[in-house]
Structure 1
């Protein structure tokens, strides 16, 4: 019997949708599914491996431990968020439109990717010092900071030691709104997703400072 940690269990049916040409990516996808259904408190490496159809040792082989895999999920989340913010920023014109566009993109991302969004901020469960995580998160914040400062975005490698207070204020307002929406304060997620502009417009005057 093969001892290859990446070998798919022959005794278990492989879940549809997972292709193991890139096993780390498949494990991240399976972990995200687990987080979406069970939340971070119900997350486990064994359940992730079962969903991916691989041996229980495979996640540890690639990520070390649960903290490592959760950090990978959070990093992917920041990449997706950064892409959404960059797309909104590129489609905008002036500073006002850039900030508003990124605010809408942030809220939509949170509603469309609740598992990643929740994991991205769980600093006690992930490794914020991880280089890939730090770079991805710095890019997302840097896009907003550039819009607030009314300048082109320049890729950053780390969080600034003294973030722009106005950028932090904008981020805090949209993040708080996103968290309330995910917690159901504004009704079912589907309704909140359909009414992004309605939710965000009342705080726009605070966002554009």
Structure 2
């Protein structure tokens, strides 16, 4: 029974999983706490009780996303900037609901301490791979973020949509001459 998951301490996970499913189906802007509660098998008040409001659910999902992104980037760190870029794109495609809310301060609580810490952790891994200063760091991030966004929206030309890793790597390799990957 779904409600028993609350008593087992799984309410947070159940709500976040349901929110990710709903976002995957209908987009972040259309997220409804009533739908999330229905999907999680809990009362419609449970998400509000646990997270405060819809922005609280989205904030928790975004925080989780930045933590997962930081883990993915950290795992690729020793392979250099190009592989960090590929890991970024893989994360975006593999965790689309998280990616969709992470960069939407209009939908979450952007000043949340846990969210801020998770975002900074992910940024630091990426920024540390670029040695030429903040503008180069932003440029590197913009390139892989833009590629991921274009891929997810289906806006890539057909000749680029075959192999995600190969395409992402080719784009990320453009970072190496200026970004100086390790």
Q: Identify which of 56, 64, 69 aligns with 1:76.
A: 64
| Higher RCO structure (Cα 8 Å, ≥6 apart) | 2
Aligned to 1:196: 165
**The structure with more radius of gyration:** 1
Following superposition, which runs of at least 4 residues in structure 1 exceed 3 angstroms of deviation?
A: 191-194
Asked whether the 8 Å contact 1:44–1:66 carries over to 2, the reply is yes
Q: What TM-score, normalized to structure 1?
A: 0.77
Gaps of 5+ in 2: none
Cα pair distance change 1:187/1:53, threshold 3 Å: farther
In the TM superposition, what whole-angstrom CA distance separates every residue of 1:89-144 from its partner, at most 9, and x where no partner exists? Answer: 13x2xxxxx11011000011111111110110111111111011000000110001
Give the Cα–Cα distance (whole angstroms) in 1 for the partners of residues 60 and 172 of structure 2: 32
- Within 5 Å, give how 1:130-141 maps onto structure 2: 130-141=112-123
Give the Cα–Cα distance (whole angstroms) in 2 for the partners of residues 54 and 68 of structure 1: 17
Tell me the C-alpha RMSD between the 2 structures.
2.5
Cα pair distance change 1:202/1:131, threshold 3 Å: closer
Give the Cα–Cα distance (whole angstroms) in 2 for the partners of residues 87 and 192 of structure 1: 25
Asked whether the 8 Å contact 2:85–2:168 carries over to 1, the reply is no
> Offset of 1:41 from its aligned partner?
2.2
Give the Cα–Cα distance (whole angstroms) in 1 for the partners of residues 148 and 15 of structure 2: 27
Q: Identify which of 4, 8, 29 aligns with 2:3.
A: 8
Query: Aligned pairs, how many?
Result: 176
In the TM superposition, what whole-angstrom CA distance separates every residue of 1:153-183 from its partner, at most 9, and x where no partner exists? Answer: xxxxxxxxxx711111100111111110011
> Offset of 1:20 from its aligned partner?
4.7
Higher helix share: 2
Cα pair distance change 1:143/1:55, threshold 3 Å: same
Q: Secondary structure at the match of 1:129?
A: coil
Give the Cα–Cα distance (whole angstroms) in 2 for the partners of residues 171 and 148 of structure 1: 10
> Offset of 1:206 from its aligned partner?
3.5
Q: Identify which of 142, 165, 170 aligns with 2:135.
A: 165
Give the Cα–Cα distance (whole angstroms) in 2 for the partners of residues 83 and 192 of structure 1: 26
Give the Cα–Cα distance (whole angstroms) in 2 for the partners of residues 101 and 113 of structure 1: 18
